[in-house]
Structure 1
Amino acid sequence: MPARKTPPTPDETLGASDDLPSLRGLVAFDVTVRLGSMTAAATELETIQPTISQRIRALEEHLGHPLFDRRGGRLELNACGEALHAELAPHLAGICGAVKEVRRQAHKRVPLITIAAGAGFMHVWLRPRLERLEKAFPDCTFKLLPIDRDEAPEMQLADIAIRFGPPLQGEQRDILVVQERAFPVCSPEYAHRHGLENGLDAEALSRITLLHLDMRDARWLDWSNWCRHAQLPVPRLDKAFPYNNFPLTLNAALNHQGVALGWSHVIQDMLDNGSLVALTPHISRDRYGYRMCVRHPNSAVIAPISQWLTHEFAGLERVPAD
């Protein structure tokens, strides 16, 4: 039976010409040359002088040639040492710099920014903008919290809270960023099929399918309250189709199933791309709209983010007047 061959060692695989010396030996050599003594090199590298001497000796043995002329206790580079150091120093500095930068990034504290908002607003408006927000602030991590109750602890403790309604009593940081503007919306196909190009009136309300949000929240308009504000008779709502969240209501409107109530600051993207059309009349309520509360408005991290969101809000009110 032939003898089993043992796997080649790394040295045999690489070959003598490709074999590299210890990095520690190269660093000890470079620092010794730069500082002029092994003792000083040991101090910088946080070790002892005999260790530095041993590493340099091992490097010289690996190379098969001394790097210093050792005379009278003094170290002087010989021609081989000078040639090696001239090639080694800039590359070793680059390697050390790269390692330090990786360590700095690995230990860098990344701020976690929490943004709380109503679930419908979060899904329809804020979530689609998250990628651009992250791109604008690459050194931050964002956590979105869909919260529908203003009194929820998560809403109170969020770095940035976006809520809908009138101002909260005693809340000085609650800033109105978008005034409420509510109006009926439907797909262009549904508007054309039912002759709604001129808006809604009593006759139109009596024959179209109304899509409504089945929520017991007084902050939001339902069809009854919207009709009263629009000075239109309230239609029979027993046949209106209910949905338990705003995204589902909008999805039904997008799929030509009826007319829903929309708010300009939430559905502006859908109006811009033509998937929904706004019908008249439009109504607004004093002091109602989206409000933003920033826990630490003077924070160097939070302030630019709240300004970015405010700028996004500023581009929302583009619905034509009645």
Structure 2
Amino acid sequence: MDWDKLRIFHAVADAGSLTHAGDTLHLSQSAVSRQIRALEESLNTTLFHRHARGLILTEQGELLFDATKSMNKRLEAASARIKDSEEEVFGELRVTTTTGFGTLWLAPRLPTLYEKYPDLKIDLMLEERVLDLPMREADVAIRMKEPSQADLIRKRLMSVRMRLYASGDYIAKNGMLQDAEEITNHRLICQSLNSIQVAAGATLVQHLMTHDVPRLFTVNNYFGVLQGVLNGLGIGVLPDYVTEDFPDLVRILPDLESSEVPVFLAYPEELRQSKRISAFRDFVQDEIIAHRRKMREAAAE
């Protein structure tokens, strides 16, 4: 099968138009049309339904487009590896993680990475949905559970527990809780049980709900929960890593916490030699070590 014809087919299928594909490929519409006809003849099938408003893939065209999309992703990965200099770190790195971890822990530490690698371009994608790393929806992921996708390099970074926190002002005004039953006298701030979240956090919230909490404020991510706590709305369920950057938080009921939540960093096997990946991985590991040290020092005080 002619690689050049496949490249032109992919551009047409992606654009849905001979004209737009021609503009992308710097070819005339007639040249693009001839290549598509030749490809259809070589395959003895029709790849597009032709309409006045554009082109629609046939069933056979969809099958071929799935194949060219996969090929294109792998070519992009190869290109990224080739462009990685042996001594310099530059270019785009697409990082995906949860909204809570990305906003509350990772983003505030990125200046350290940029100071060392000013030409690195981070595209930070914050969402609870697990992106497909082998299909290059992202280059590297930090997730709150071990990734199950194949062909990934995985590294466990640290563990997190969900705990109860309130602001210092809130405690000064409302007093410290002595046992879990007293949560009924306060507003509980937490992630909605209908939102995507780690099971350990949801289990802790469900346990607190058994005390018949009359007042509740729910948010679909931990950044929103933190804002509610800092502004004195009540007592919130938050991951323990927030205490380093928000020292005004006071832990409530120290014996009450979720089970351990593992945090993993993962990236595709094909990016093993990427300088960008290595730089980001080393940066995160260094920040984790510094984070652990500060947490130990705070616990010892």
Which range, TM-score by smaller chain?
A: 0.5 to 0.7
In structure 2, what is the equivalent of residue 290 of structure 1?
Answer: 263
Distance 2:237 2:287 in 1: 22
Contact 2:204 2:258 in 1 (8 A): no
- Residue of structure 1 aligned with 2:219, choices 230, 239, 243: 243
1:202 is displaced (CA, Å) by: 2.8
Out of 263, 275, 284, the residue aligned to residue 300 of structure 1 is 275
Q: How far apart in 2 are the matches of 1:200 and 1:314?
A: 33
2: CA distance between counterparts of 1:176 and 1:234?
33
* CA-to-aligned-CA distance 1:152-180 (integer Å, 9 cap, x gap): 56995422211113553657523221112
CA deviation after TM superposition for structure 1 residue 205, in Å = 1.4
The higher radius of gyration belongs to 1
Please give the per-residue CA displacement for 1:68-117, whole angstroms capped at 9, x wherever unaligned. Answer: xxxxxxxxxxxxxxxxxxxxxxxxxxxxxxxxxxxxxxxx9942111111
Question: Is this contact kept in 1: 2:162–2:257, CA < 8 A?
Answer: yes
SS at match of 2:275: coil
Aligned partner of 2:196 in structure 1 is: 217
Q: Which residue of 1 aligns with 2:22?
A: none
5 Å-filtered alignment, 1:1-322, equals 110-151=90-131, 157-168=137-148, 173-196=153-176, 201-214=179-192, 215-217=194-196, 219-222=198-201, 225-226=204-205, 228=207, 234-237=210-213, 239-270=215-246, 274-279=247-252, 280-286=254-260, 288-295=261-268, 296-317=271-292, 318=295, 320=299
**Displacement after TM superposition at 1:244 (Å):** 2.8
SS in 1 for 2:164: strand
Q: How many residues align?
A: 205
Matching residue of 1:8: none
Aligned residue type for 1:293: A
Deviation of 1:307 (Å): 0.8
Change (3 A) 1:309 1:203: same
SS in 2 for 1:236: coil
**Cα distance in 2 for residues equivalent to 1:314 and 1:137:** 20
Superposition TM-score, scaled by structure 2 size: 0.59
Shift of 1:191: 1.9
Over 3 Å counting, the alpha-carbon distance change for 1:177 and 1:203 in structure 2 is: same
Structure 2, unaligned runs of 5 or more? 1-87
- Superposed CA offset, 1:255-285 (max 9, x none): 1110111112244311xxx221222125353
Give, in angstroms, the shift of residue 312 of structure 1. Answer: 0.9
Q: CA RMSD in A?
A: 3.1
More strand by share: 2
Shift of the 155–210 alpha-carbon distance from structure 1 to 2, 3 Å rule, reads: farther
Identity of aligned residues (%): 22
AA aligned to 2:248 is S
Larger RCO, structures 1/2 (Cα 8 Å, 6+ apart): 2
